[in-house]
Copies of this chain bind each other. A is one copy, B any other.
Amino acid sequence: MGKWATLSEKTRRELLQARAFLSAVAEPPAQALARFVAERGARGAVDAILRGRAAAPVLAEVEARCADVSGERVLRAGEEAGLRLLVPEQPEWPDEAFAELAGAREVGLPDMAEPLALWVRGQGGLAEFTERAVAVVGARAASGYGEHVAAELGNGLSEAGFGVVSGAAYGIDGAAHRGALSAGGRTVAFLACGADVDYPAGHGRLLRAIADQGAVISEYPPGTPPRKHRFLVRNRLIAAMGRATVVVEAGARSGAANTANTADLLGRPVLAVPGPVTSQNSVGCHAMVRSGQAVLVTRTEEVVELLTPLGVSPAQEVAAGSRATDRLHQDARRLHDALTAVDSAGYEELARDCGLPLARVRAVLPELELGGFVKRTECGWSAITR
Protein backbone atom coordinates (compact mmCIF):
# COMPACT_ATOMS: atom_id res chain seq x y z
CA MET A 1 0.00 0.00 0.00
CA GLY A 2 2.73 2.43 0.99
CA LYS A 3 0.43 5.43 1.47
CA TRP A 4 -0.26 4.82 5.16
CA ALA A 5 1.88 7.84 6.06
CA THR A 6 -0.33 10.09 3.97
CA LEU A 7 -3.58 9.00 5.63
CA SER A 8 -5.29 11.14 8.27
CA GLU A 9 -5.39 9.92 11.85
CA LYS A 10 -9.15 9.40 11.49
CA THR A 11 -8.83 7.31 8.35
CA ARG A 12 -6.15 5.20 9.99
CA ARG A 13 -8.36 4.55 13.01
CA GLU A 14 -11.27 3.62 10.75
CA LEU A 15 -9.08 1.20 8.83
CA LEU A 16 -7.83 -0.37 12.06
CA GLN A 17 -11.39 -0.66 13.37
CA ALA A 18 -12.53 -2.28 10.15
CA ARG A 19 -9.66 -4.76 10.18
CA ALA A 20 -10.16 -5.50 13.88
CA PHE A 21 -13.80 -6.24 13.13
CA LEU A 22 -12.84 -8.49 10.22
CA SER A 23 -10.31 -10.38 12.33
CA ALA A 24 -12.99 -11.18 14.89
CA VAL A 25 -16.14 -11.65 12.85
CA ALA A 26 -15.23 -14.86 11.03
CA GLU A 27 -13.21 -17.97 11.84
CA PRO A 28 -10.10 -18.09 9.63
CA PRO A 29 -9.49 -19.09 6.95
CA ALA A 30 -12.65 -17.33 5.77
CA GLN A 31 -12.23 -17.62 2.03
CA ALA A 32 -15.37 -15.81 0.90
CA LEU A 33 -14.74 -12.96 3.31
CA ALA A 34 -11.09 -12.63 2.28
CA ARG A 35 -12.13 -12.42 -1.33
CA PHE A 36 -14.78 -9.84 -0.53
CA VAL A 37 -12.24 -7.72 1.36
CA ALA A 38 -9.74 -8.02 -1.49
CA GLU A 39 -12.43 -6.68 -3.86
CA ARG A 40 -14.00 -3.96 -1.70
CA GLY A 41 -11.27 -2.94 0.69
CA ALA A 42 -11.63 -3.33 4.45
CA ARG A 43 -14.00 -0.43 5.15
CA GLY A 44 -16.17 -1.13 2.10
CA ALA A 45 -16.46 -4.78 3.04
CA VAL A 46 -17.39 -4.03 6.66
CA ASP A 47 -20.04 -1.49 5.59
CA ALA A 48 -21.61 -3.96 3.20
CA ILE A 49 -21.59 -6.75 5.80
CA LEU A 50 -23.16 -4.57 8.49
CA ARG A 51 -25.95 -3.65 6.02
CA GLY A 52 -26.39 -7.33 5.03
CA ARG A 53 -25.33 -6.48 1.50
CA ALA A 54 -22.86 -9.23 0.71
CA ALA A 55 -23.14 -12.52 -1.17
CA ALA A 56 -24.50 -15.50 0.74
CA PRO A 57 -21.12 -17.25 1.25
CA VAL A 58 -19.74 -14.10 2.88
CA LEU A 59 -22.78 -13.68 5.12
CA ALA A 60 -22.62 -17.37 6.10
CA GLU A 61 -19.06 -16.86 7.32
CA VAL A 62 -19.93 -13.82 9.45
CA GLU A 63 -23.52 -14.62 10.49
CA ALA A 64 -22.81 -16.16 13.88
CA ARG A 65 -20.65 -13.36 15.28
CA CYS A 66 -21.68 -10.30 13.29
CA ALA A 67 -24.14 -8.90 15.78
CA ASP A 68 -21.74 -9.16 18.71
CA VAL A 69 -18.52 -7.83 17.23
CA SER A 70 -17.45 -4.21 17.49
CA GLY A 71 -14.22 -3.25 15.74
CA GLU A 72 -13.51 -0.50 18.24
CA ARG A 73 -14.04 -2.83 21.18
CA VAL A 74 -11.74 -5.49 19.75
CA LEU A 75 -9.14 -2.86 19.01
CA ARG A 76 -9.24 -1.58 22.60
CA ALA A 77 -9.06 -5.12 23.99
CA GLY A 78 -5.92 -5.58 21.94
CA GLU A 79 -4.42 -2.34 23.18
CA GLU A 80 -5.18 -3.32 26.77
CA ALA A 81 -3.52 -6.68 26.21
CA GLY A 82 -0.42 -4.94 24.89
CA LEU A 83 -1.00 -5.95 21.26
CA ARG A 84 -0.91 -3.76 18.21
CA LEU A 85 -2.91 -4.47 15.10
CA LEU A 86 -0.93 -4.81 11.91
CA VAL A 87 -2.99 -4.36 8.75
CA PRO A 88 -2.25 -4.77 5.02
CA GLU A 89 -2.58 -1.00 4.55
CA GLN A 90 0.57 -0.45 6.62
CA PRO A 91 4.05 -0.55 5.08
CA GLU A 92 5.18 -3.10 7.69
CA TRP A 93 2.74 -5.69 6.31
CA PRO A 94 4.71 -8.52 4.66
CA ASP A 95 3.00 -8.22 1.31
CA GLU A 96 4.98 -10.76 -0.61
CA ALA A 97 4.64 -13.51 1.97
CA PHE A 98 0.86 -13.28 2.07
CA ALA A 99 0.27 -12.55 -1.62
CA GLU A 100 0.97 -16.26 -2.17
CA LEU A 101 -1.79 -17.19 0.26
CA ALA A 102 -4.24 -14.91 -1.57
CA GLY A 103 -3.13 -16.54 -4.82
CA ALA A 104 -3.75 -19.98 -3.35
CA ARG A 105 -7.23 -18.86 -2.27
CA GLU A 106 -7.97 -17.47 -5.72
CA VAL A 107 -7.14 -20.74 -7.42
CA GLY A 108 -9.43 -22.47 -4.94
CA LEU A 109 -6.98 -24.39 -2.76
CA PRO A 110 -8.90 -25.54 0.33
CA ASP A 111 -8.15 -23.81 3.63
CA MET A 112 -5.98 -21.18 1.96
CA ALA A 113 -6.62 -17.49 2.52
CA GLU A 114 -4.51 -14.52 3.44
CA PRO A 115 -4.87 -13.22 7.02
CA LEU A 116 -7.14 -10.16 7.24
CA ALA A 117 -5.05 -8.58 10.02
CA LEU A 118 -2.35 -9.65 12.47
CA TRP A 119 -2.18 -9.02 16.20
CA VAL A 120 1.40 -8.39 17.25
CA ARG A 121 3.09 -8.54 20.64
CA GLY A 122 6.66 -7.34 20.29
CA GLN A 123 8.83 -5.59 17.81
CA GLY A 124 8.07 -4.12 14.40
CA GLY A 125 9.74 -4.50 11.02
CA LEU A 126 7.89 -7.64 9.95
CA ALA A 127 8.15 -6.99 6.21
CA GLU A 128 11.91 -6.59 6.45
CA PHE A 129 12.16 -9.65 8.73
CA THR A 130 10.26 -11.74 6.20
CA GLU A 131 12.77 -11.04 3.45
CA ARG A 132 15.29 -13.26 5.24
CA ALA A 133 13.21 -15.63 7.35
CA VAL A 134 13.21 -19.42 7.56
CA ALA A 135 10.49 -21.53 9.15
CA VAL A 136 11.81 -24.24 11.46
CA VAL A 137 9.12 -26.68 12.57
CA GLY A 138 8.75 -30.17 13.96
CA ALA A 139 7.31 -32.55 16.48
CA ARG A 140 6.08 -31.46 19.88
CA ALA A 141 7.19 -34.76 21.42
CA ALA A 142 10.66 -34.32 19.99
CA SER A 143 13.71 -36.32 20.99
CA GLY A 144 16.74 -34.80 22.67
CA TYR A 145 18.47 -35.21 19.33
CA GLY A 146 15.74 -33.29 17.51
CA GLU A 147 15.78 -30.45 20.02
CA HIS A 148 19.54 -30.26 19.79
CA VAL A 149 19.46 -30.01 16.00
CA ALA A 150 16.61 -27.46 16.05
CA ALA A 151 18.50 -25.26 18.52
CA GLU A 152 21.68 -25.50 16.42
CA LEU A 153 19.72 -24.56 13.30
CA GLY A 154 17.97 -21.66 15.03
CA ASN A 155 21.31 -20.43 16.29
CA GLY A 156 23.12 -20.95 12.98
CA LEU A 157 20.42 -19.29 10.91
CA SER A 158 20.46 -16.28 13.24
CA GLU A 159 24.21 -16.02 12.95
CA ALA A 160 23.86 -16.19 9.17
CA GLY A 161 21.45 -13.25 9.34
CA PHE A 162 18.21 -15.17 8.91
CA GLY A 163 15.14 -14.78 11.08
CA VAL A 164 13.51 -17.89 12.51
CA VAL A 165 9.74 -18.43 12.26
CA SER A 166 8.00 -21.13 14.24
CA GLY A 167 4.96 -21.94 16.36
CA ALA A 168 6.24 -21.71 19.96
CA ALA A 169 5.12 -25.28 20.69
CA TYR A 170 7.02 -27.63 22.99
CA GLY A 171 9.74 -29.67 21.31
CA ILE A 172 11.23 -28.53 18.01
CA ASP A 173 9.46 -25.15 17.81
CA GLY A 174 10.65 -24.05 21.24
CA ALA A 175 14.20 -25.27 20.59
CA ALA A 176 14.36 -23.38 17.29
CA HIS A 177 13.17 -20.14 18.92
CA ARG A 178 15.63 -20.61 21.79
CA GLY A 179 18.50 -21.22 19.38
CA ALA A 180 17.72 -17.97 17.58
CA LEU A 181 17.39 -16.06 20.86
CA SER A 182 20.71 -17.42 22.11
CA ALA A 183 22.41 -16.00 19.03
CA GLY A 184 20.77 -12.63 19.68
CA GLY A 185 18.75 -13.08 16.51
CA ARG A 186 15.19 -12.18 15.65
CA THR A 187 12.51 -14.79 15.85
CA VAL A 188 8.77 -14.77 15.28
CA ALA A 189 6.16 -17.11 16.77
CA PHE A 190 2.75 -17.54 15.19
CA LEU A 191 0.14 -18.73 17.68
CA ALA A 192 -3.05 -20.73 17.20
CA CYS A 193 -4.73 -18.54 19.85
CA GLY A 194 -4.70 -14.86 20.73
CA ALA A 195 -1.22 -13.31 20.72
CA ASP A 196 -1.87 -12.36 24.35
CA VAL A 197 -2.55 -15.96 25.40
CA ASP A 198 0.44 -17.79 26.85
CA TYR A 199 0.09 -21.10 25.09
CA PRO A 200 1.52 -23.56 25.85
CA ALA A 201 1.39 -22.34 29.43
CA GLY A 202 4.89 -23.63 30.16
CA HIS A 203 6.24 -21.36 27.41
CA GLY A 204 5.15 -18.08 29.04
CA ARG A 205 8.72 -16.98 29.62
CA LEU A 206 9.82 -18.07 26.18
CA LEU A 207 6.96 -16.11 24.58
CA ARG A 208 8.01 -12.98 26.49
CA ALA A 209 11.60 -13.44 25.30
CA ILE A 210 10.40 -13.89 21.71
CA ALA A 211 8.30 -10.71 21.97
CA ASP A 212 11.33 -8.84 23.33
CA GLN A 213 13.65 -9.90 20.54
CA GLY A 214 11.11 -10.40 17.74
CA ALA A 215 7.35 -10.85 17.81
CA VAL A 216 4.53 -13.13 18.90
CA ILE A 217 1.83 -12.90 16.26
CA SER A 218 -1.68 -14.21 15.66
CA GLU A 219 -4.51 -13.62 13.24
CA TYR A 220 -6.94 -14.47 16.08
CA PRO A 221 -8.27 -11.58 18.14
CA PRO A 222 -7.07 -11.09 21.73
CA GLY A 223 -8.21 -13.76 24.15
CA THR A 224 -9.01 -16.41 21.52
CA PRO A 225 -8.40 -19.85 23.07
CA PRO A 226 -6.39 -22.45 21.12
CA ARG A 227 -8.35 -25.17 19.32
CA LYS A 228 -7.10 -28.19 17.45
CA HIS A 229 -8.15 -27.00 14.01
CA ARG A 230 -6.57 -23.60 14.66
CA PHE A 231 -3.11 -25.18 14.73
CA LEU A 232 -3.51 -26.42 11.18
CA VAL A 233 -4.95 -23.05 10.09
CA ARG A 234 -2.08 -21.21 11.79
CA ASN A 235 0.51 -23.43 10.08
CA ARG A 236 -0.18 -21.79 6.73
CA LEU A 237 1.09 -18.46 8.12
CA ILE A 238 4.34 -20.06 9.30
CA ALA A 239 4.85 -21.64 5.89
CA ALA A 240 4.06 -18.37 4.12
CA MET A 241 6.42 -16.33 6.29
CA GLY A 242 9.47 -18.53 5.72
CA ARG A 243 11.36 -18.39 2.47
CA ALA A 244 11.81 -22.09 3.14
CA THR A 245 10.50 -24.53 5.73
CA VAL A 246 12.88 -26.85 7.56
CA VAL A 247 11.29 -29.87 9.23
CA VAL A 248 13.52 -31.14 12.01
CA GLU A 249 11.55 -34.09 13.38
CA ALA A 250 8.12 -35.22 12.30
CA GLY A 251 6.21 -38.42 12.89
CA ALA A 252 4.25 -40.18 10.18
CA ARG A 253 1.34 -37.90 10.95
CA SER A 254 2.17 -34.45 12.17
CA GLY A 255 1.45 -30.78 12.12
CA ALA A 256 4.94 -30.26 10.75
CA ALA A 257 4.04 -32.36 7.71
CA ASN A 258 1.00 -30.11 7.29
CA THR A 259 3.19 -26.99 7.36
CA ALA A 260 5.55 -28.63 4.87
CA ASN A 261 2.65 -29.42 2.54
CA THR A 262 1.54 -25.80 2.67
CA ALA A 263 5.06 -24.52 1.98
CA ASP A 264 5.15 -26.89 -0.97
CA LEU A 265 1.76 -25.59 -2.22
CA LEU A 266 3.09 -22.05 -1.97
CA GLY A 267 6.17 -22.96 -3.99
CA ARG A 268 8.56 -22.61 -1.05
CA PRO A 269 11.38 -25.14 -0.67
CA VAL A 270 10.86 -27.79 1.98
CA LEU A 271 13.96 -29.12 3.73
CA ALA A 272 14.04 -32.10 6.08
CA VAL A 273 16.62 -33.17 8.63
CA PRO A 274 17.26 -36.93 8.73
CA GLY A 275 17.60 -38.91 11.93
CA PRO A 276 17.95 -42.48 13.10
CA VAL A 277 15.68 -44.81 11.10
CA THR A 278 14.87 -46.40 14.44
CA SER A 279 13.22 -43.18 15.66
CA GLN A 280 9.51 -42.63 15.02
CA ASN A 281 10.27 -38.92 15.26
CA SER A 282 12.11 -38.97 11.93
CA VAL A 283 9.65 -41.09 9.95
CA GLY A 284 7.93 -38.02 8.51
CA CYS A 285 11.22 -36.37 7.52
CA HIS A 286 12.46 -39.48 5.75
CA ALA A 287 9.14 -39.92 3.95
CA MET A 288 9.34 -36.33 2.65
CA VAL A 289 12.84 -36.92 1.31
CA ARG A 290 11.87 -40.26 -0.26
CA SER A 291 8.84 -38.75 -1.99
CA GLY A 292 10.92 -35.89 -3.33
CA GLN A 293 8.91 -33.30 -1.41
CA ALA A 294 11.87 -32.31 0.74
CA VAL A 295 15.58 -31.85 0.23
CA LEU A 296 17.72 -33.54 2.88
CA VAL A 297 19.76 -31.06 4.94
CA THR A 298 22.20 -31.75 7.74
CA ARG A 299 23.64 -28.34 8.62
CA THR A 300 22.80 -24.65 8.66
CA GLU A 301 25.16 -24.04 5.74
CA GLU A 302 23.10 -26.34 3.54
CA VAL A 303 19.94 -24.42 4.40
CA VAL A 304 21.61 -21.09 3.70
CA GLU A 305 22.95 -22.41 0.39
CA LEU A 306 19.43 -23.18 -0.75
CA LEU A 307 18.29 -19.67 0.10
CA THR A 308 21.22 -17.85 -1.42
CA PRO A 309 21.54 -16.97 -5.10
CA LEU A 310 23.78 -19.40 -6.94
CA GLY A 311 27.47 -18.96 -6.41
CA VAL A 312 27.23 -16.73 -3.38
CA SER A 313 27.56 -19.04 -0.40
CA PRO A 314 27.84 -22.66 -1.39
CA ALA A 315 27.99 -24.96 1.61
CA GLN A 316 31.49 -26.35 1.71
CA GLU A 317 31.19 -30.10 1.42
CA VAL A 318 32.64 -31.50 4.62
CA ALA A 319 36.30 -31.82 3.73
CA ALA A 320 37.06 -35.47 3.22
CA GLY A 321 40.15 -35.67 5.42
CA SER A 322 42.87 -36.08 2.84
CA ARG A 323 45.94 -38.15 3.38
CA ALA A 324 49.42 -37.59 2.08
CA THR A 325 49.30 -40.83 0.07
CA ASP A 326 46.20 -39.61 -1.79
CA ARG A 327 48.45 -37.74 -4.17
CA LEU A 328 50.33 -40.90 -5.17
CA HIS A 329 49.58 -42.59 -8.47
CA GLN A 330 48.33 -46.16 -8.42
CA ASP A 331 51.67 -47.91 -8.82
CA ALA A 332 53.24 -45.74 -6.13
CA ARG A 333 50.40 -46.56 -3.78
CA ARG A 334 50.76 -50.28 -4.44
CA LEU A 335 54.46 -50.07 -3.61
CA HIS A 336 53.86 -47.96 -0.53
CA ASP A 337 51.22 -50.42 0.70
CA ALA A 338 53.67 -53.30 0.26
CA LEU A 339 56.35 -51.73 2.45
CA THR A 340 56.44 -51.57 6.22
CA ALA A 341 58.51 -49.38 8.52
CA VAL A 342 60.01 -52.45 10.21
CA ASP A 343 61.11 -54.78 7.40
CA SER A 344 63.04 -54.06 4.25
CA ALA A 345 62.33 -55.38 0.77
CA GLY A 346 64.36 -55.42 -2.43
CA TYR A 347 63.39 -54.50 -5.97
CA GLU A 348 62.62 -58.04 -7.18
CA GLU A 349 60.58 -58.95 -4.12
CA LEU A 350 58.55 -55.75 -4.44
CA ALA A 351 57.98 -56.30 -8.15
CA ARG A 352 56.54 -59.76 -7.51
CA ASP A 353 54.56 -58.64 -4.50
CA CYS A 354 52.93 -55.74 -6.33
CA GLY A 355 52.72 -57.32 -9.77
CA LEU A 356 54.71 -54.42 -11.23
CA PRO A 357 57.50 -54.61 -13.83
CA LEU A 358 60.94 -54.44 -12.24
CA ALA A 359 61.84 -51.32 -14.22
CA ARG A 360 58.71 -49.63 -12.94
CA VAL A 361 59.62 -50.49 -9.35
CA ARG A 362 63.11 -49.06 -9.86
CA ALA A 363 61.62 -45.86 -11.27
CA VAL A 364 58.88 -45.33 -8.69
CA LEU A 365 60.78 -46.02 -5.46
CA PRO A 366 63.08 -42.97 -5.87
CA GLU A 367 59.93 -40.86 -6.49
CA LEU A 368 58.50 -42.13 -3.21
CA GLU A 369 61.84 -41.44 -1.52
CA LEU A 370 61.78 -37.82 -2.73
CA GLY A 371 58.25 -37.49 -1.39
CA GLY A 372 59.40 -38.71 2.01
CA PHE A 373 57.28 -41.85 1.87
CA VAL A 374 60.03 -44.52 1.81
CA LYS A 375 63.69 -44.81 2.66
CA ARG A 376 66.64 -46.91 1.53
CA THR A 377 67.95 -49.37 4.07
CA GLU A 378 70.90 -51.75 4.08
CA CYS A 379 68.70 -54.56 2.75
CA GLY A 380 66.48 -52.59 0.34
CA TRP A 381 63.57 -50.29 1.07
CA SER A 382 61.19 -49.64 3.92
CA ALA A 383 58.32 -47.26 4.62
CA ILE A 384 58.56 -44.06 6.60
CA THR A 385 55.84 -43.79 9.21
CA ARG A 386 54.09 -40.42 9.08
Contact = CB atoms under 8 A, between A and B. Distances in A.
A357 B274 contact: no
B61 A278 contact: no
Interface stretch (A82-90, A183-191, A318-326, A372-380): A318-326
Contacts of A30: 355
B64 A337 contact: no
A296 B227 CA distance: 36
B287 A337 contact: no
A302 B277 CA distance: 12
A274 B296 CA distance: 10
A295 interface: yes
Nearest to A143: B276
Interface in A46-104: 60-65, 68
Given A65-B355, A286-B296, A355-B30, A320 B252 contact: yes
Interface string A324-359: 000000100110011000000000100110111110
Given A229-B334, A277-B149, A354 B320 contact: no
Contacts of A273: 277
A27 interface: yes
A248 to B, nearest CB: 10
Contact of A287 (B253, B286, B317): B317
A10 interface: no
Contact of A64 (B145, B321, B355): B355
The 7 lowest CB-CB distance pairs between A and B, nearest first, are: A27-B355, A274-B274, A64-B351, A253-B320, A277-B298, A227-B337, A63-B357
Given A63-B357, A252-B318, A274-B276, 6 more contacts: A60-B357, A228-B333, A274-B274, A274-B286, A274-B289, A289-B296
10 contacts: A27-B355, A60-B360, A64-B361, A145-B276, A145-B278, A227-B338, A252-B321, A274-B277, A283-B298, A290-B302
